[in-house]
Structure 1
């Protein structure tokens, strides 16, 4: 149970971005592509868990001083030793890289870059204002690219920019909630000294507008059938913004992955996308 908590399985839903290329490229009609995409998803779940463990190792002292994380993080709480965590990562990463190679050589590169990015984030990037937001966002872009190379398809540049913009929106709202979570938030995450709630609201507004602009450009130039998904996407963004207002003491993304309406929204988006693209193929 302690090891499972260390892996943070609740966060694996974020790796759904790996599946996106399977849908957008209409490759879901190919059993081989579906198998490769699912394998890529599982491997990225493992890579994300490795990244979380590495982050928890570096953050253990700050987490022990945090009123919530000192209870929830296994390393900070003393449930899992640093030595045990290092052992898990040392075993997990080679297995993930070997599995990624069998999926596709380029997919191995995507996983390796993701692991390098998450390690750099844990060591230094998370302390650098603005760069920390882009580092988080690039992790999502690598998920999408990894999902694309795993099934050997090429996606429009608009899809990658849409992903970057959406991830920046999620990152900015996450920082916003961290600022609101406690009056001494900057004591636990130094980069927050450079941010304010208003600045994060401004960043999130810019990012969400960019998301819709580039998603619209993708639909208009590549997949006009996906116009049917726009109402669902709008509802999802509205619902997420509503959840932010309710999430003063927890990460909005954590609340999002547990929210029934957001789950239904994601399923509905996927169902509509697959249906209209299948009928158009």
Structure 2
């Protein structure tokens, strides 16, 4: 009887769609997760913080780094979906992914992912400073290790995903030879940990009682622990930003107002606003929270304006 119930509850298998070159290309693009490419905009973080964003040299190099990082991320997504195809077919949502649904054959996903994973570091070695190539290679190796085993290791999975965000923020500075301050690294790192742990917390809340259906490791975490992590990370990121804003570095500001210090208010409000969604268990898709919540978007624009005025010393 139990076996019969399990069969009834299992999602019906999807019939593989007819394949065509156009459908295959669309499937490959979908597997590369275009919506996730917005994360790679973090490559401008360090140059923006240093006030070296709006030059032709910066534009060319950052555009190249963005493309290379996107290629590495796409390679990881393709390999991950190819590896998890069998498990994804048993999932009510993931079974619609192109590889699991049969739109993209598993060997093709592996081949395209492997090609991107080789070409991106090689192009970086040819066109970028050695530090950029090293960071891209390290990111690729770390993410592939995450796909194979690290995503099943408690706490390490949070660290790996957080480090991926931190690498995105660092690589723009390395591409332009900009020194990375300790406050920049602390704020960025713990800000990323805040969003990653809030996402895990939201998934655990939404999938209470069946957490393993979406992410097996969620069964090992408690919501109390994940809440502790995102609250800790939020506090450290705000503290790090405030210490940066209050550190004058011996250079007096010639601006009309102390925009650098005032930006602490907007930054803190942004973290508090995002924490509302985290507390509700509604931060499962960070990009949706950031782009769809108008108050948060407004706070972000105010912070961006203040930060820009501080960098411009206006």
So what's the TM-score if we normalise by structure 2?
Answer: 0.81
Q: For 1:167-246, what aligned pairs fall within 5 Å after superposition?
A: 167-182=192-207, 183-221=209-247, 225-244=259-278
Structure with the bigger RCO (C-alpha within 8 Å, sep 6+) is: 1
Distance 2:264 2:121 in 1: 37
Equivalent residue for 2:292? 259
1:228, distance to aligned residue in structure 2 (A) = 3.0
Relative to its length, the structure with more helix (as a share) is: 1
Return closer, same or farther for 1:181/1:260 CA change in 2, 3 Å cut-off: closer
Task: Check if 1:82 corresponds to 2:106.
Answer: yes
Q: CA deviation at 1:93?
A: 2.1
How far has the Cα of 1:267 moved from its partner? 4.4
Match of 1:144 among 169, 172, 182: 169
TM-fit CA distance, 1:48: 1.6
Q: Structure 1: how far apart are the matches of 2:98 and 2:297?
A: 27
* Long gaps (5+) in structure 2: 1-25, 250-257
> Which protein shows a greater Rg?
2
**Counterpart Cα distance in 1 of 2:219 and 2:281:** 21
Q: Is the 8 A contact 1:18 1:146 kept in 2?
A: yes
CA positional deviation for 1:200: 0.8
Q: Deviations over 1:220-249 (max 9, x none)?
A: 22677532322332332233233346665x
Q: Matched residue of 1:195: which SS?
A: coil
Cα deviation per residue 1:32-72 (whole Å; 9 max; x = unaligned)? Answer: 1232122212221222222222222222233222222222x
2:72 aligns with 47
Q: CA RMSD in A?
A: 2.2
Equivalent of 1:6 in 14, 21, 31: 31
Give the conservation status (yes or no) of the 8 Å contact 1:179–1:186. no
Separation of aligned partners in 2, 1:75 and 1:190: 20
Please say if residues 212 and 218 of structure 2, whose CA atoms lie closer than 8 Å, have aligned partners that are also in contact: yes
Aligned counterparts of 1:114 and 1:268: Cα–Cα separation in 2: 32
8 A contact 2:241–2:264 mirrored in 1: no
List structure 1 segments (4+ residues) > 6 angstroms apart after TM superposition.
none
Number of matched pairs: 278
Deviation at 1:131, TM superposition (A): 0.8
Match of 2:117 in 1: 93
Is the CA contact 1:23–1:273 (under 8 Å) kept in the aligned structure 2? no
The answer as to whether partners of 1:219 and 1:225 remain within 8 angstroms in 2 is no
Cα distance in structure 2, aligned partners of 1:254 and 1:98:
30
Contact 1:22 1:34 in 2 (8 A): no
Quickly say closer, same or farther: Cα 1:62–1:175, change in 2 above 3 A: farther
User: So what's the TM-score if we normalise by structure 1?
Assistant: 0.89
